[in-house]
Structure 1
Amino acid sequence: MFRGLSAFPLTPTTEEGIDERAFGALVSRLAAAGVDSIGALGSTGGYAYLTREQRARVARLAVEAADGVPVMVGIGALRTSQVLAVAEDAQKAGVSAVLLAPMTYQSLTDDEVFGLYESVTRELSVPLCVYDNPRTTHVHFTDELHGRIAELPNVAAVKIPPVPDDRAAARQRVAALRAQLPDTVSVGVSGDWAAATGLNAGCDAWYSVAGGLFPATALALTRAAQAGDAAGATAHSERLEPLWELIRQYGGLRVMSAAASHLGLATEPNLPLPLRGLPSDARRRLVTVLEHLALGTSA
């Protein structure tokens, strides 16, 4: 399942709880569009802001709405015991895989990060994807640390930060990481603006924020890269640069929150406080971008 497009939907949330109807509809849209997998409760899914009970409920809703499409669920938390608890809930919900970022308040050493994955993988019955996301976790993986973790049982994939813009540098980056990993471990890219470059450089998967709301558009880019049409994949990405610019500036969560609201796919507010979404000027820019790129409810 760690190949192709993995679409990460928003989890519409208010201070009263999860908008289950809206979340289920978002997941159903992804399944109907034919994405390769669905990443519930990723960073765009707001996992860090939800209670254990809410996360367990979202995992069940995602599996039900996915209609057989593999679902991967984020299980990151500050303490190992909490990670183990949400991992157990996710497995009981029937997920196909879990995604683990090493959340932290105190800085973690490499041995502490490794110890987290060692403890969690020992208890898993489903594959695990390592979530390397220094922008939010402030944990910086070395390739050597990735290699150590990849030898643990049930580790099946690594989700890496954006690759360099330069094509040759991107290929070198992916090759250097692969040299540390077993052949059985997939490498996938995140950072939507780097998707085409990462896929063309040899990444197996794109873990996509925009794909969680615009699956057809994200699939077109992914399928071009998978078919060896590097120029086509790059052209798809270049066309989407106005959207990528907003995501780089404000973060995927806020941009997708505002887009979902504008398109009538979620009510507003749909982010947990203290998150407040896009400022008004950025929202106007986003609406213009969506209209210019024809990114509507069927995109």
Structure 2
Amino acid sequence: MTFTGLSAFPLTPLTAEGEVDEPAFVGLIDRLVAAGVDSLSPLGSTGSYAYLHREERARVARTAVAHAGGVPVMVGIGSPRTRDVLAHAEDAQEAGVSAVLLSPVSYQPLTPEDVFGLYEEVTRVLSVPLVVYDNPGTTRFTFTDELYGAVAELPGVVSIKIPGVPVDPAEARERVARLRGLLPGHVTLGVSGDPFGATGLNAGCDVWYSVLGGTLPEAALAIVDAARAGDAAGAVTASERLRPLWDLFTAHGSLRVIAVVAEHLGLVRGPSLPSPLRGLTGKERARVVSVVDALGGGA
């Protein structure tokens, strides 16, 4: 399994009673498959995996695979305790996923030795590929480049998801080249942080792990397709068109913003986020709605 192109991270919408809204989730998956995304990534941070119990996560994984139409499915298995990570990995594999996504979730601060040990223990028992999920804004753990290199040598690791690249294109290319020199040739490099998608792809990243792609896949694919065609300027233009949305992501966090987008477009029923997370209200919500409408609804 090789991850390239657009990996779309959909919401896991919840009902007012706090249950997974399975029909709405299926609708999101169907929408992504129809758009032609390269892979589906439920149960990432956009999918609120940390707020779901084991059976909910297993059911989401099974549902995604059942409706993926052959599109590769990768699900998050992160949890503070390794025992639970292994249980989620077992459920994901039984669901028939193509890969798993693992971030170093913690309550107590983790050391590099803790994190390497986590990946070492998990990869030892996996039968599907693993993508390393570096999301310091959520986990409060920051990978060093040397730790990237060490973890990438473990069996089954196929991709590293990095949290953005430098804004300057030359610096971004230099950053990607440095990481390429540390990683085995079979390990792809993926950019995340949606405002950095175009710059990362133009700098040589293989895949964009995208929040936007999970709700507005056509807008994300416009960026990916231009980059894949070697049209760096076109990718930047397609991304800059979304600058008002990127600014909202920066101001409020991508999850809260994309939840409003999905609710406004009627893709999910609001409120769709897990308690205690509060969705945007008042002027903040109105601003998101205004931006989406100005972009043409489906962006």
TM-score by length of 2: 0.98
Q: 1:62-91 deviations in whole A, cap 9, x for unaligned? A: 111111100000000000000000000000
Q: Percent identity?
A: 64
Structure 2 match to 1:239: 241
Q: 1:146-184 deviations in whole A, cap 9, x for unaligned? A: 111011000000000011101111111111111110000
Structure 2 match to 1:258: 260
Preserved contact between residue 265 and residue 297 of structure 2 (Cα < 8 Å): no
For 2:42 and 2:266, locate their aligned partners in 1 and report how far apart those are by CA, in whole Å.
Answer: 20
Q: 1:254-283 deviations in whole A, cap 9, x for unaligned? A: 111111111111111111110011132111
- Aligned partner (choices 196, 209, 212) of residue 210 of structure 1: 212
Alignment of 1:90-129 (within 5 A): 90-129=92-131
Which range is displaced more, 279-288 or 18-27? 279-288
3-state SS of paired residue (2:41): strand
3-state SS of paired residue (2:128): coil
- Give the AA of the match of 1:284: A
Structure 2 match to 1:3: 4
Preserved contact between residue 214 and residue 295 of structure 1 (Cα < 8 Å): no
Q: 1:182-223 deviations in whole A, cap 9, x for unaligned? A: 000000000110000000000000001011111111111101
For 1:52 and 1:250, locate their aligned partners in 2 and report how far apart those are by CA, in whole Å.
Answer: 28
For 2:184 and 2:196, locate their aligned partners in 1 and report how far apart those are by CA, in whole Å.
Answer: 24
Alignment of 1:29-178 (within 5 A): 29-178=31-180
- Give the AA of the match of 1:275: L
Preserved contact between residue 162 and residue 190 of structure 1 (Cα < 8 Å): yes
3-state SS of paired residue (1:283): helix
Structure 2, unmatched stretches of 5+, are: none
1:286 aligns with 2:288: yes
Preserved contact between residue 18 and residue 274 of structure 2 (Cα < 8 Å): no
For 2:279 and 2:216, locate their aligned partners in 1 and report how far apart those are by CA, in whole Å.
Answer: 19
The number of aligned residues is: 297
Q: 1:229-267 deviations in whole A, cap 9, x for unaligned? A: 000000001110000011111111111111111111111
Structure 2 match to 1:187: 189
TM-score by length of 1: 0.98
- Give the AA of the match of 1:165: V
- Give the AA of the match of 2:150: R
1:16 aligns with 2:18: yes
For 1:118 and 1:231, locate their aligned partners in 2 and report how far apart those are by CA, in whole Å.
Answer: 40
3-state SS of paired residue (1:99): strand
For 2:139 and 2:117, locate their aligned partners in 1 and report how far apart those are by CA, in whole Å.
Answer: 16
For 2:247 and 2:284, locate their aligned partners in 1 and report how far apart those are by CA, in whole Å.
Answer: 11
For 1:60 and 1:233, locate their aligned partners in 2 and report how far apart those are by CA, in whole Å.
Answer: 34
Preserved contact between residue 37 and residue 72 of structure 1 (Cα < 8 Å): yes
- Give the AA of the match of 1:11: T
Preserved contact between residue 101 and residue 130 of structure 2 (Cα < 8 Å): yes
For 1:8 and 1:263, locate their aligned partners in 2 and report how far apart those are by CA, in whole Å.
Answer: 17
Query: CA RMSD of the aligned region, Å?
Result: 0.8
For 2:214 and 2:120, locate their aligned partners in 1 and report how far apart those are by CA, in whole Å.
Answer: 30
3-state SS of paired residue (1:105): coil
- Give the AA of the match of 2:9: F
